[in-house]
């Protein structure tokens, strides 16, 4: 739902995407050549009829369904009891009531339990064909040939050399904001302020003064009070001197 093969390939070309487009295409071609060759070599070593991924998933389901109880209904229908919950298996149409067999193409635990009940050691015949070794080999059967060397290219007369792009330069315009867009049904939490430790707002909109501002205002108030005291003392002393002069 949120990722695809293109994003997976882009994750491998974080540095190569800065190359010119011709060099970038050469990188992708070499990557595909290496992938196809390694997968063909790996498939030749397989001894099982299923791919490694399908085989590991099947073994995991076999271990999980060891204690499930199976009872036969007829030649093609079987009932599997898992802790009081029952599922009916139809081997003729390859369906199960849990629908995991139909959706994934791999036999579910109920179908594997039926194979164990029928004394069948291998249940690969219940798997869809596109999980088999033959399909995997046919996917990477055709080789990918590399692009000829640039010394063999035909250069045109009006050919202009392509310069590599400059990715380090800042793009024109306002930088993109990485704002989180809530998905459908997502409930966002309340805002939290790291200054006053209250909810409902953040630090940028907090009206609580900083500690440095409070200390500065207190210091300013003390300085103002001291200055007022000195002014009052000077005024009193001046009045006393005036009275003494008048008496004299």
The pLDDT tens digits for 206-215 are 877 776 666 6
Report yes or no on 104 lying in a domain.
Answer: yes
Q: Yes or no: say if 108 and 101 are a contact pair by the CB < 8 Å rule.
A: yes
Burial class (CB in 10 A: 0-12, 13-18, 19+), 132: middle
Task: Print the domain residue range for 220.
Answer: 210-248
The per-residue pLDDT for 205 is 78
CA-to-CA distance for 49 and 134, rounded, in angstroms?
8
Q: What is the DSSP letter of 168?
A: S
CA-to-CA distance for 200 and 181, rounded, in angstroms?
19
Same domain for 142 and 127?
Answer: no
CA-to-CA distance for 16 and 10, rounded, in angstroms?
9
**pLDDT under 50: residue ranges of the chain:** 1, 243, 245, 248
Same domain for 141 and 19?
Answer: yes
CA-to-CA distance for 241 and 150, rounded, in angstroms?
105
Report yes or no on 99 lying in a domain.
Answer: yes
Q: How many domains in the chain?
A: 3
Same domain for 115 and 217?
Answer: no
Report yes or no on 204 lying in a domain.
Answer: no
Same domain for 77 and 92?
Answer: yes
Same domain for 142 and 122?
Answer: no
Query: How many CB atoms lie under 10 A from the CB of residue 136?
Result: 21
Same domain for 76 and 109?
Answer: yes
Same domain for 69 and 111?
Answer: yes
Q: Yes or no: say if 86 and 93 are a contact pair by the CB < 8 Å rule.
A: no
Q: What is the DSSP letter of 19?
A: S
> Strand pairing partners for 85?
82
The last residue of a domain, from among 93, 121, 147: 147
């Amino acid at each position: 739902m949120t990722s695809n093969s293109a994003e997976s390939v882009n994750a491998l070309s974080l540095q190569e995407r800065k190359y010119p487009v011709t060099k970038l295409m050469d990188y992708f071609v070499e990557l595909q050549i290496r992938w196809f060759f390694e997968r063909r070599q790996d498939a030749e070593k397989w001894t099982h009829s299923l791919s490694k991924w399908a085989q590991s998933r099947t073994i995991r389901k076999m271990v999980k369904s060891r204690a499930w109880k199976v009872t036969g209904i007829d030649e093609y229908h079987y009932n599997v009891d898992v802790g009081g919950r029952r599922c009916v298996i139809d081997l003729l149409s390859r369906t199960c009531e849990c629908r995991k067999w139909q959706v994934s193409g791999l036999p579910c635990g109920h179908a594997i339990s039926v194979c164990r009940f029928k004394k069948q050691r291998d249940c690969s015949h219940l798997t869809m064909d596109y999980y088999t070794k033959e399909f995997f080999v046919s996917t990477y059967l055709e080789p990918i040939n590399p692009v000829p060397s640039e010394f063999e290219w035909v250069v045109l007369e009006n050919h202009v050399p392509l310069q590599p792009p400059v990715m380090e330069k800042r793009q024109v315009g306002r930088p993109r904001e990485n704002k989180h867009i809530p998905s459908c049904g997502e409930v966002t939490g309340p805002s939290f302020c790291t200054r006053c430790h209250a909810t409902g707002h953040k630090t940028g909109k907090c009206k609580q003064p900083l500690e440095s501002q409070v200390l500065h205002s207190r210091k300013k108030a003390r300085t103002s009070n001291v200055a007022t005291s000195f002014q009052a003392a000077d005024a009193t002393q001046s009045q006393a001197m005036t009275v003494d002069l008048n008496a004299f």
